[in-house]
Amino acid sequence: MSLDWIYYAISWILLRWHALWDAIGIPDDRVLGTNWSWVLSIFFLVVTLRVILFPVFVKQIKSQRAMQALQPKVKALQEKHKGDRETLQKEMMELYKTEKANPLMGCLPMVLQIPVFLGLFHVLRHLNPNLPERLKTIYGWSLEQFTSASGAHLFNAPISAKFGSTDAELAALGANGTTVKILAAVLILLMMTTTFLTSRQMILKTGWAEDPQQKMIQRLMLYGIPFSLLISGSLFPIGVVIYWVTNNLFTLGQQQWVLRKFPPPQMAGAKTGSSARPATATASDAKGVKSPVQSGRSGGLFGKKNAVEEPAPVVDTKALAPKPGAKPVNPKKGARPANKPKG
């Protein structure tokens, strides 16, 4: 399937933002070694796409919340149908349908951004000043716009250059190899760091998954993808790395807002059986003193398991009091009288 429609869409957004900065008065000339009109166009390309995808991102968060809430039921089904994968999948699909949860929704924003990334990669790699003129004006570019963009720099490094550019490619761009490699290396490290932070931010808020497969995916997202960028990042044009870093920074802020707006449920992996003490606990419970009933249930005073202590009988003190005019009664007959003092 042809991806020309993506290339046209990416080019159109870039050119519209560049036209806006040109109308505002931001020149195409370099300031601090940077053509800010094109760098800002890439930055606001990210903003445009993230605003468009924001409703999908909110649905992704809600879907993740629903999936986390279903984990106890999913685990129960896995135990019930252990060894019967066909029945398990059928029951799982029925559960998702009943609870209106979609496990694929969690990956949708990332899937939608892949064509955008590929489109921007192709468009920026296409900005080669040595191309024939007939190829410079495809995807809606004019010759003047192409010439301006192909010569755009960030701190004296062409945005179409990359860390792994050959000497011939650097010569065609009129770029200094050392400058390109230093700037590209710094941006690649930023790309790796911000990619790690976006995954870490989500895991810290939602917790690690209990399911081994989901936990493995979380580890891959947290450590595997940032590490892979160390190699693949050398193949990305500087403009693409700018897009990636900007996208990660936008994601960090967006996730922070959404996680406050839609707080995550209890962290995965937390023990659900150790709940707080019941509200009916007595004052002696709070001090760590067991009541007779509690002592009996735990084998307490007499060491008998499940024994319940009988309540003490009620004593009528009025019935035991001496009646008026009655002789005093010695409660202990034959008791030895106290020794009288001599003298």
Mind listing the pLDDT tens digit for each residue in 152-182? 999 999 998 999 998 888 888 889 999 999 9
Q: For residue 297, what pLDDT is reported?
A: 43
* Phi, psi dihedral angles at 275 (to 5 degrees): -80, 170
Kindly report whether the global pTM for this prediction surpasses the value 0.85. Answer: no
Confidence of residue 266 (pLDDT cuts 50, 70, 90): low
pLDDT computed for residue 292 by the predictor: 41
Query: Which residues lie closer than 8 Å to 323 by C-beta, 6 or more apart?
Result: none
| Mean pLDDT confidence for 48-77 | 79
pLDDT higher than threshold 90 for residue 242: yes
Contact in structure between 37 and 22 (CB atoms under 8 Å): yes
Give me the helix-helix angle, 108-126 and 4-24, nearest 10°.
70
pLDDT of 39 higher than 80 = yes
What span, in angstroms and rounded, lies between the C-alpha atoms of 169 and 185? Answer: 18
CA distance 134 to 119: 20
Q: 55 falls in which pLDDT band (50, 70, 90)?
A: confident
User: Secondary structure of 69-106 in the HEC alphabet?
Assistant: HCHHHHHHHHHHCCCCHHHHHHHHHHHHHHHCCCHHHH
Weakest mean pLDDT among 191-205, 254-268, 294-308, 314-328: 294-308
| Per-residue pLDDT at 307 exceeds 60 | no
Q: What is the pLDDT of residue 44?
A: 93
Three-state DSSP class for 34?
strand
Pair 34, 43: CB distance under 8 Å: no
Report the alpha-carbon distance of residue 118 to residue 1 in Å, rounded. Answer: 14
Per the prediction, the chain carries an average pLDDT of 76
d(CA 27, CA 30): 8
- pLDDT band, very low/low/confident/very high, at 284 (cuts 50, 70, 90): very low
Nearest to 68 by CA among 105, 35, 122: 105
Residue 274 has pLDDT above 50, yes or no: no
Q: Are 123 and 7 in contact (CB under 8 A)?
A: yes
